Structure 1
Amino acid sequence: MSANLNVASLFNVKGKIVLVTGGSAGIGKMIASGFAQNGAKAVAEITAGLKNATASGSVSYIVANVGSKAGCDALVNEFKKRESKLHVLVNNSGITWGGPYEDFPEEKGWDNVFNVNVKSIFYMTAGLTELLAKDSNNRDPARVINISSTASVDPRSEGALSRPGNGTWSYQPSKAAVNHLTSQLALKLAPRHVTVNAILPGVFPSKMTAFGLKTAGDEVFTANQPTGRYGSTEDMAGMAVFLSSPASAHVTGAHIILDGGARYNSRPMPDAKL
């Protein structure tokens, strides 16, 4: 019997149960919307007070804070009350902090950034592994998608996305850690029929990029983009759906750069102007 290579079959996510952390805005909202519009049952983790920001009849919500193991455990436990299976976990929650090189804060600058960006991925994935592995097989594996950043492979920490005199000294290494953790988890979970991949976005409109886009202006970013634009909802949702569909069942441990080719442009980003 020949394989079904129809697009509707290859990229089908209908009926999949998907949990997206940090789903209230930005990239998380793009991803949750993409799944919901394609027939998946999306559950978005949001912070308190933001439920109305992403109101949709096809997306349900859990209020949580993944900045600690206890917060991750609470989210995992609440999800388990609602569902007995998880097809796709999107570890999207992320934060950054800008500060001066000579006086970069420890708790907010380093500890909190690594708690949210790195530790939460481990604790969320470990806590939900049994639900991911349940009924999965090598033709229809469960999926973990970690949202990293092109900052993980670009060491520049000062530029248009932070205030003059400040740098995002902890963000770049935290996202590099996400990449390596993705590889570790891919190796660990392959025998359980769970794939683990990372998306490395370039510039997309979000809370993290809002300052730079506002103060430096769109032209600064588009000038450094070979495609002439930064990322869109369609770009991010499309990649997430692909990594959750039958078309990517044999893809694991991948770090996929989604930046419109900006990494090939060696011109440094100018400092943002206030």
Structure 2
Amino acid sequence: MTDPTRLFDVAGKVVVVTGGSRGIGYGIAEGFVRAGATVYICARKAEDCEKAAAELSAHGECQPLSANLGSVEGARAFAAQLAERESRVDVLVNNAGNIWVEKLADYPESGWDKVFDLNVKGVFFLVQAMMPLLEASARHDDPARIINIGSIDAFHVPEHETYAYSSSKAAVHMLTRHLALKLAPKHITVNVVAPGRYRSQLLENAIELEGAEELLAPIPLKRFAEGPDLAGAAIYLSSRAGSFVTGAMLPVDGGHGTTL
């Protein structure tokens, strides 16, 4: 029996969080850093990535690696950079993503492609590129972990015209299940954390326009998701407590996903 005080222990694990310079990625990275993991964050803009890593390093070990994960070449280049620094990766959190909002009649192909290139293609080809590092960590009693950040918009129809975003997140959820089945024999688990309305700058802008009461109305727990909520879910899936969970979709949404 594992010491119950260590069920959620991730100290010493090597963790990669894409899109870790802000928002959900930053919150998840902070949780792992504070829990004693060695964390690598990546973002497209090197300056933003370095600034975030410097802030997070006040709580533990965090390193920046800039990358454009919206292309196969970018994913492979990022994995190669990481392989120069680490011999294994214990946890890969695929958080980097794009969103595009536009009326149906005006929705551009360029916006659709930008969202799918990062949200779906980027996830798949980064997993492909990271397989040697993940396999180096994977053990029968302590699998390597892949956590894909999905969305409750893959469970229900969103109010706003985010056609590519909701479709891409639904694709990520199915991709997760497919990868979970194929990678289980390699002792790698693959799961989704599906956030609801997260307290980000984008949400703050929406609050100014629509009001907090309006945005909270469909959320049974009547608050927005925050960094510790998402970090807690990711740490659970990465720890001994979550080692027998794979192919799961974990909503972190205050009950919002249960409504239409």
TM range (shorter): over 0.9
Structure 1 residue 134, shift from structure 2 partner:
1.4
Partner in structure 2 of residue 27 of structure 1: 24
Is the 1:138–1:249 Cα contact (8 Å) retained in structure 2? no
- In the alignment, the residues of structure 1 paired with residue 240 and residue 130 of structure 2 have an alpha-carbon distance, to the nearest angstrom, of 21
The alignment status of 1:184 with 2:178, answered yes or no, reads yes
In the alignment, residue 238 of structure 1 is paired with which amino acid?
A: G
Give the deviation of 1:229 after TM superposition. 0.3
Aligned residues with identical type, % of pairs: 41
Q: What is the CA RMSD across the aligned residues, in angstroms?
A: 1.3
Within the candidate set 225, 228, 234, 2:222 is matched to 228
Counterpart of 2:44 in structure 1 is 47
Q: State the SS of the aligned residue for 2:163.
A: coil
Q: Which aligned pairs between 1:95-110 and structure 2 lie closer than 5 A?
A: 95-107=98-110, 109-110=111-112
| Cα deviation code 1:39-77 (max 9, x no counterpart) | 000000022231214523221100111111111111111
**Offset from partner CA, 1:56-106 (integer Å, 9 cap, x none):** 322110011111111111111111111111000000001100111111110
Q: What pairs with 1:1-274 in structure 2 (closer than 5 Å)? A: 3-6=1-4, 8-48=5-45, 49-50=47-48, 51-55=50-54, 56-57=56-57, 58-107=61-110, 109-158=111-160, 167-266=161-260
Aligned residues of 1:222 and 1:230 also touching (Cα < 8 A): yes
> Tell me, what secondary structure is at the counterpart of 1:23?
coil
In 2: Cα distance, 1:154 partner to 1:19 partner: 29
Shift in Å at residue 209 of structure 1? 3.2
The amino acid that maps onto 1:105 is P
Question: When the two structures are aligned, how many residues end up with a matched partner?
Answer: 254
Q: Give me the whole-angstrom Cα distance separating, in 2, the residues matched to 1:180 and 1:141.
A: 21
**CA–CA separation in structure 1 for the residues paired with 2:234 and 2:192:** 10
CA contact (8 A) 2:150 2:169 kept: yes
Measured after TM superposition, the shift of residue 136 of structure 1 is 1.9
Query: What is the letter of the counterpart of residue 65 of structure 2?
Result: I
Following the alignment from structure 1 to structure 2, what is the Cα–Cα distance between the partners of residues 127 and 45? 15
For residues 63 and 189 of structure 1, do their structure 2 counterparts lie closer, same or farther at Cα, with a shift above 3 Å needed? same
- Bigger shift: residues 110-119 or 200-209: 200-209
Aligned residue for 2:215, secondary structure, equals helix
Bigger Cα displacement from structure 2, 225-234 vs 16-25: 225-234
Larger Rg: 1
Unaligned runs of at least 5 residues, structure 2: none
CA distance in 2, matches of 1:221, 1:72: 35
The answer on whether the counterparts of 1:95 and 1:208 sit within 8 Å (CA) in structure 2 is no
The one-letter code sitting in structure 1 at the alignment partner of 2:41 is A
Q: Which runs of 4+ in 1 moved over 3 A?
A: 207-211
What TM-score does the superposition give when structure 2 sets the normalisation length?
0.94
2-side partners of 1:104 and 1:228: how far apart? 32
After superposing the two structures, state which structure 1 stretch, 40-49 or 241-250, moved more: 40-49
Q: Is the 8 A contact 2:41 2:53 kept in 1?
A: no
Unmatched segments (≥5 aa) in structure 1: 159-166, 267-274
Instruction: Tell me, in whole angstroms, the C-alpha distance in 2 between the residues paired with 1:196 and 1:106.
Output: 30
Q: Distance in 1 between matches of 2:151 and 2:24?
A: 11
Contact 1:19–1:90, Cα closer than 8 Å, also in 2: yes
